Every structure is written in C-alpha cells, then in structure tokens.
Amino acid sequence: MPTNIKVGSPEWARFEDWLHNILGKHDDWTVVAEFEGYSGVLGEPFTESRATLSYLARNKEEAIKKAFEYDGWDTGYDQGNAYIEDADNGIICQEDLGDDAARVFVTLKDGIGPYPAVWKLWPTFENYFDLRNDKNGNLVDPYSGDLVVEIPYPANKDHVRVRTDYLQDYLAARNMVLIRQHDHRRHWLELIKGLPEREGDGTVHKDKWGCYRLDIVNSQKNSMDRFSRLVAKDIVTPYKRAGTVGGKRHDKLAMEDYPEFITSKGLDGKEMRQKPNPNILDPTYFNPRVLKRYYDEPSRYSVGFHAPGMGGVSFLDQWSIPIGRNDEGLIIVWLGDLAKPGLSYREISHWHSHNVPPRGGMAMDFWNAQMMCNPSKAPSLERRLIDCKFQITKAVEAKGKRIYKPYKGPDKYIEKTLRIPLFDEHTEFRETILLLSRMFIEYLDIESFRDDLPDKYENDKNEKPLGPIAVFSNWLEHVIGVPTDTVEAIKRTLQTIQMVRSKTGIAHKFSDSSYQEVIERIGLSGRITAKLLYCSVAEPLANSLEALCNALGVESKLWWTKYARN
C-alpha cells in the first residue's frame, strides 16, 4: 500500500493515506476483495486489518446514487441470478441483473470440512473474456497469455486483484460500474499525541470518488480501545466503449465510419483529407504527443525507435504499426495502417485527435525501411542506451560480477518507457530524466561494489563514504580493469544526469532559475528545447557507454558497429 505518512502519527490514525492517495484512484490493478488481512502481530505497537468486497451496479445515475446513499456497510448483497445456456462452442453463463439492485462481484465461500474458504467471481466476467485458470488458480487471457485475475488460495492468504483495463472493458460492455466497499481498522497500544480521545460522530462524508465514515478512539483508560476505523465506498468507472482489451474482442468499423485524416495541403493551403484505406499508402503526420499514451501503459503497449527516424508501436499481439519520426519530431504513419484489423474505435479516435498537417518532410529512415527495404545503419539514441547497457551487463556477468540490480515493481518497464521528450513541458522533461537516472544510476549494485573494493577506494581522504557514482567509478577501474579515461567519461556523464535531475526536480516550469543554472553548467545557449537539453545529457552518456563496451571487448556485439567499419 503506497503511503508517505509515518506509522503511528495522527495522519496515519486518520487514514489520510487512503483518503488522499488510494480511494478512488485507478492503478494497473484493482483490489476487488480482501479478507481481514492483518499486518503486524498482536502485542506490537501498531497493527492493521483490512477488508474489501466489491459489487456491481447499473451505470445509471439513480442506481449509483442509491448505492452511495445506503448507509449500511455489510457485504450481504444479493448475488443476483446467472443461468446456463448451451451453445455450439460450450456452456455459457448468462447474467440476469433484473432490477437495479447491486450484485456482489466477488463472493467469499466459507470453508467446508477440510476444504478452506475460497473466492468466487461473478461468473460472466470470466465468460466475457473466455478466461482460463493457470496452475495456481489465477485467471489468464488465453489469447494473449496475460494474467487477468490474481486469486489467492486459500482465501485468507492474500487479496484478489483484477487488471483494471479488463475490468473497465467488461463494465463498459455490461453498462455497469464497480463499487468497492472497504472496512479498514488500525490499532495502537500507546496514546497518539495530537489526537483527541474520540473523533467521529457517525457522519457519512461525501467525496468525488465516493463516501466514507471515520471513527477514532484514542482512549486514555484502556489500550484495547485505541483504534480507528475507516468504512468507505469508492467506484471504478467503465471505459467509454468496450472492446479495447483482451484477446480477440474488437469493435469492427465499416470503412465509411472511419474519421477523415489530414494527409496533405494544396497549393492554396487547403487541407486534403482521406479516410483510412488498407490498400492506399499515404504518409500521415501526428503530433508526438500521440505516443504519450502508449509510453504511459507499458504493460499493454510497446513503442520505441530502432533508428532515429524509424520505430513502431504495438498492442500485445493484436496489432503493430510502423512509425516514422522526422526532423521536426512529428510522427508519421501510413494512413492505411490505421485500418488494420484489431484497432478499436478508441485507438483510431486517439490518432485522429493528434493528426496535424504535414511539416518537416519525410522521415528518411522510415521511407528507406518501408519503401526501399533498406533498414537504417544507425541506431536511435534510445536504442544505443538500451543495447549498450545490455552488452555491458552481460560482459560484467561473464566476469562473475554484477553491475545492476534487477528492476523492481513498475520500474521493470523503464526500458520500454525510455524516450527523448515528446514535447516541451517541464513534466515530460523531468519524467524522461528520471527514467535515465533510474536506469543508469539508481539500480547500480553499490553494495556489491563496496564488497569488492579496498577501503581506500570506498572512502574519501577524510574517511567519509564516497557517493554511489564515485564508488562505481572506482569499481570499474580497480576491479573490472577499465581504463581511467573511459571511467572518467562515464563518471562525468552520470554526475551530469544526477545534477540535472536534482536541479530540475525542484522546478515547476522551464523559466525557473534552476533550469537556467542547468543550461549554464552544461554550456548551452540560444533557444533551449526539452529535446535539446535531454540530448545534451543523454548523448554523452551513450558515447561513454560505447567506449565502455569497447574496453570490455563487446563493441562488435552492438549491431550498428558492423556498418561503421565498412
């Protein structure tokens, strides 16, 4: 559970982490059920129990209003009815919600004899996606191999999680919403300063995400009565249109229903527009913001550039579109590719919203690869960084050492989201610099470096521990045997990235003084764009990494070096 508050503080007792950072927020996964899970052991200073159950309601204003006005917090809702229908390809569970009453989405079935309690999902969710159980009892999309529902066994082992995109797609298809009901409690042994003896009068508070009631007892007489209880309801809304995720489920659009895209301009400045047609190749231009959505959902999409002007974007194994990037930074696709089977209405509308008139000419890498069957002989900046790191990691592992720790959590997608800034905004620049820093600095295995180094290379002349970059540099030189000039180049580039991240991290916009300081220290002048500033940091890093590959004897494994020698 994400939190930035201290356990045992008044904020913790008031569940401010849940009320401000968790309830009503959508992540890649949605917890739809939890069974009184305790963190901590009785007798410890602080313990916590959590319970969550979810139910379905019609996506109608009056039905949702009714659900949130109901002031009971039990989970005894009617499960509704499901009946079995025989079909040519098997048995289908059909749902019958009948009236607008809520139906339980996840049911806890009590244990029977030696058989423990188990979780059961509303049957038509599984049926809608044609899901299958894996060996652990979780539900998997058989068309993509994606894990869709994590179901613990026995039920009290962990919580039930559903991939949010599948959940929202299902809700859209059924015109429903999911309402989660929470009952969370926190206990403490000693009085918490800053809290009155009792807070809360049973009032149900309304918020944009739902409603909640909070009761706190900070008793001065009995440690058994020191607790807080949060009961809350929040909502998961459906997609605007179903058919955007999962296996073979897509909206089929007739060609006449496609929107028109700008493909060219006449001599008089008039914009020429066409509908996508798979039989016609027309280069069509887009604002680079069109790619942000795909970079932001790396668990579903892959997007990147093999060469400076040639790349691709794909969705699982369902569709793939080659893309170009010209000198203006605009993204180019063949208009006919937007009529590919598998692209949903939502995807086509997304591209249409970012369509712009042609500007800056064709991306030659894109043209040569697509029309002349002549792939680029030079890598993109992103590709240089990723491939160099891969070869360096392998070379160091071959020496029995480790240079980087494995990525954890969402960071496993760092290399899929690494990119040159797509547009000139502080938030986009900061995100791209943060990715660069995490990939090349934060995951350095500093502990193992220190284990390998003598004390004189771990500490400065005052016997104070050196920073991570300095320790890494000493390790490269004195343990791996990398030449001093190569080590110094890597050290400088990493320190520059660290400086840029630190200075721009406290800024709010490009005009802030911290940006001016960064620009001055890097030695730039004139009109500074996010792309120029990023490349002035990332390109020296790529150069130093290639030099390290050379020092480690793996430069020939970088695919572009064979062209450089010819």
Q: Last residue of some domain: 344, 371, 398? A: 371
**Residue 246 included in any domain:** no
Choose the weakest-confidence range: 107-116, 322-331, 386-395, 522-531: 107-116
Query: In terms of C-beta distances under 8 Å and separation of at least 24 residues, what long-range contacts does 308-315 make, across chains too?
Result: 308/365, 308/376, 308/378, 308/379, 308/380, 308/381, 309/363, 309/364, 309/365, 309/366, 309/376, 310/363, 310/365, 310/366, 310/368, 310/369, 310/375, 310/376, 311/380, 315/342, 315/347
d(CA 566, CA 550): 17
Q: Could you tell me which of 36, 13, 9 has the C-alpha nearest to residue 186?
A: 13
- Same domain? For 349 and 463 the reply is no
- Same domain? For 348 and 474 the reply is no
**Residue 376 included in any domain:** no
Element (H, E) at 78: none
Q: What is the pLDDT of residue 322?
A: 96
- Same domain? For 75 and 150 the reply is yes
Q: Which residue has the higher pLDDT, 143 or 279?
A: 279
Tokens 């200075």 appear where?
A: 503
- Same domain? For 303 and 227 the reply is no
**Residue 354 included in any domain:** yes
- Same domain? For 332 and 446 the reply is no
What is the mean pLDDT of the segment spanning 342-352?
84
Q: What sign for the dihedral angle of Cα 133, 138, 139, 145?
A: negative
Residue % of the chain over a pLDDT of 70:
88
Choose the weakest-confidence range: 166-170, 400-404, 446-450: 166-170
**Residue 81 included in any domain:** yes
Q: What is the pLDDT of residue 89?
A: 41
**Residue 242 included in any domain:** no
Mean of pLDDT over the chain? 85
**Residue pLDDT, tens place only, 468-500:** 999 999 999 999 999 999 999 999 999 999 999
d(CA 456, CA 44): 43
List, in order, residues 6 or more apart from 380 with CB less than 8 Å away: 304, 305, 306, 307, 308, 311
Three-state secondary structure call for residue 296? coil
**Residue 249 included in any domain:** no
- Same domain? For 360 and 387 the reply is no
Query: The tokens of 103 are what?
Result: 């139906």
Q: What is the pLDDT of residue 80?
A: 41
Tell me the H-state helices in 308-363.
345-353
Element (H, E) at 38: strand 29-39
Q: Where are the beta strands (DSSP E) in 110-251?
A: 118-121, 132-133, 139-140, 147-150, 160-163, 176-188, 198-199, 205-207, 210-218, 226-236
Q: What is the pLDDT of residue 222?
A: 75
Q: What is the pLDDT of residue 560?
A: 94
Three-state secondary structure call for residue 521? helix
Q: How confident is the model at residue 75 (pLDDT cuts 50, 70, 90)?
A: very low
β-bridge mates for residue 233, sequence order: 181, 211
Q: Give residue 488's domain range.
A: 381-565
Phi-psi region of 333 (alpha: psi -120 to 50; beta: other; left: phi over 0): beta
Q: How confident is the model at residue 353 (pLDDT cuts 50, 70, 90)?
A: very high
Is the pLDDT score of 36 beyond 80? no
Is the pLDDT score of 303 beyond 90? yes
**Residue 243 included in any domain:** no
Element (H, E) at 332: strand 331-334
- Same domain? For 202 and 184 the reply is yes
- Same domain? For 363 and 430 the reply is no
What DSSP state is assigned to residue 409?
A: G
Q: What is the pLDDT of residue 37?
A: 54
Is the pLDDT score of 78 beyond 80? no
Tell me the H-state helices in 399-481.
414-417, 426-437, 446-452, 468-475
Q: What is the pLDDT of residue 290?
A: 97
**Residue pLDDT, tens place only, 440-459:** 999 999 999 999 998 888 88
Rg (CA), the chain: 28
**Residues across the chain:** 566
**Residue 290 included in any domain:** yes
Q: How many distinct structural domains can be found in the chain?
A: 3
Quick one: angle between helices 484-505 and 468-475, nearest 10?
Answer: 160
The listed range with the strongest mean pLDDT (76-90, 427-441, 500-514) is 427-441
- Same domain? For 393 and 515 the reply is yes
β-bridge mates for residue 320, sequence order: 314
List, in order, residues 6 or more apart from 471 with CB less than 8 Å away: 446, 449, 450, 453, 457, 458
- Same domain? For 530 and 458 the reply is yes
Element (H, E) at 314: strand 310-315
Q: DSSP letters of 97-113?
A: --SS--EESEEEEPPBT
List, in order, residues 6 or more apart from 441 with CB less than 8 Å away: 468, 469, 494, 497, 498
Q: Which residue has the higher pLDDT, 20 or 322?
A: 322
Q: Last residue of some domain: 317, 345, 371? A: 371
Q: Could you tell me which of 177, 258, 254, 170 has the C-alpha nearest to residue 210?
A: 177
Amino acid letter for position 147: L
d(CA 78, CA 69): 17
- Same domain? For 224 and 296 the reply is no
Is the pLDDT score of 42 beyond 70? no
Is the pLDDT score of 202 beyond 60? yes
Would you say 488 and 554 are in contact if contact means Cβ atoms under 8 Å apart?
no
d(CA 530, CA 460): 36
d(CA 60, CA 318): 32
Q: Which residue has the higher pLDDT, 454 or 551?
A: 551
Q: What is the pLDDT of residue 97?
A: 44
Q: How confident is the model at residue 86 (pLDDT cuts 50, 70, 90)?
A: very low
Would you say 235 and 168 are in contact if contact means Cβ atoms under 8 Å apart?
no
d(CA 388, CA 414): 15
- Same domain? For 87 and 223 the reply is yes
- Label the pairing between strands 226-236 and 118-121: unpaired
Q: Last residue of some domain: 346, 371, 396? A: 371
Would you say 181 and 55 are in contact if contact means Cβ atoms under 8 Å apart?
yes
Q: What sign for the dihedral angle of Cα 442, 444, 446, 447?
A: positive
Phi-psi region of 139 (alpha: psi -120 to 50; beta: other; left: phi over 0): beta
**Residue pLDDT, tens place only, 239-283:** 876 666 765 444 566 777 889 999 998 888 889 999 998 888 899
Is the pLDDT score of 118 beyond 80? yes
d(CA 186, CA 204): 19
Choose the weakest-confidence range: 297-301, 309-313, 531-535: 297-301
Quick one: angle between helices 513-522 and 530-551, nearest 10?
Answer: 40
Tell me the H-state helices in 199-311.
292-295
Q: Which residue has the higher pLDDT, 73 or 47?
A: 47
